[in-house]
């Protein structure tokens, strides 16, 4: 069983890399942002609640996010491991996750931080705005998301570094270059088995 958390600023390419890692290891990529967006486009109650925050670049409240993740981790496909993309995002969420995993008897194997500088992520998000029309990819909202990332999410890196779980990967360059760096880290992980075939 391989359990990984993917960290990095908005626009770092977490979603793209998450898919590749998940494919390589044969585990599901669980993206809280993607779950919210699916619910928003389907107009569910969860989606309507989430949109109030996401469209302003704020975090969706823990009372909504934590139970959603808990339910997702209980699904059958997550029993062979998982990659979390976009969760946890705050120290509070990291503590909640720690308790959830303890209850499930699951150990965390790796926290992978994709490091990209702010000018580069803004450029990438502006490009994504043209392609995907995400409601939170407007420049003022992006700037705010980066600020929130710096204040609330970055401190988590220290929390995981203290537990010897953190690996930082350079997120600059092409998608393939970043994947290669990530795969090198995965290959060095003793608990990490590649999917057969
Ligand atoms: P990005 O990495 O570009 O910020 P995501 O798809 O991960 O994009 O997240 C989009 C938005 O969804 C966030 O700005 C936030 O409003 C909400 N969101 C995602 N994950 C969480 C979380 N763990 N806690 C609270 N809100 C979240």
- pLDDT over threshold 70, residue 193: no
Cα 36 from Cα 122, distance rounded (Å)? 22
Tokens of 65: 């996010």
> What are the tens digits of pLDDT across the range 141-159?
999 999 999 999 999 999 9
Q: First and final CA of the chain: distance in angstroms?
A: 17
Is residue 15 within 8 Å of residue 94, measured between CB atoms? no
pLDDT score recorded for residue 190: 79
Q: What angle do the packed helices 139-148 and 118-132 form, to 10 degrees?
A: 130
Q: Select from 11, 14, 33, 143 the residue to mutate for testing ligand 1; criterion: most ligand atoms less than 8 Å from CB.
A: 33
pTM for the model stands at: 0.93
Is any ligand 1 atom within 6 A of the Cβ of residue 86? yes
Peptide bond into 53 cis (omega under 30): no
Q: Taking the domains of the chain in order of start, what are their residue ranges?
A: 2-187
Average pLDDT, the chain: 95
Between β-strands 110-115 and 29-31, what pairing exists: parallel, antiparallel or unpaired? unpaired
60 is in an annotated binding site: yes
Q: Which atom of ligand 1 is nearest to the CA of 12?
A: 2
Is any ligand 1 atom within 6 A of the Cβ of residue 89? yes
Tokens of 35: 């779950």
Spell out the CATH class of 2-187: alpha beta
Is any ligand 1 atom within 6 A of the Cβ of residue 59? yes
Cα 69 from Cα 86, distance rounded (Å)? 11
Cα 183 from Cα 79, distance rounded (Å)? 22
């Amino acid at each position: 069983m391989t359990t990984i958390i993917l960290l990095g600023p908005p626009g770092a390419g977490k979603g793209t890399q998450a898919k590749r890692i998940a494919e390589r290891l044969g585990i599901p990529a669980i993206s809280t942002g993607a779950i919210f967006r699916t619910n928003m486009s389907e107009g569910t109650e969860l989606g309507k609640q989430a949109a109030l925050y996401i469209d302003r670049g704020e975090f969706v409240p823990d009372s909504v996010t934590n139970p959603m993740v808990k339910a997702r981790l209980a699904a059958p496909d997550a029993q062979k491991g998982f990659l979390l993309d976009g969760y946890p995002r705050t120290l509070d969420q990291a503590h909640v996750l720690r308790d959830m995993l303890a209850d499930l008897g699951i150990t965390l194997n790796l926290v992978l931080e994709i490091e990209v500088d702010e000018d580069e992520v803004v450029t990438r998000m502006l490009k994504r705005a043209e392609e995907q029309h995400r409601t939170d990819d407007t420049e003022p909202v992006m700037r705010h998301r980066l600020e929130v990332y710096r204040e609330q999410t970055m401190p988590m890196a220290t929390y995981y570094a203290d537990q010897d779980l953190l690996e930082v990967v350079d997120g600059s360059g092409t998608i393939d270059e970043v994947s290669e760096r990530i795969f090198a880290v995965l290959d060095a992980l003793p608990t990490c088995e590649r999917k057969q075939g």
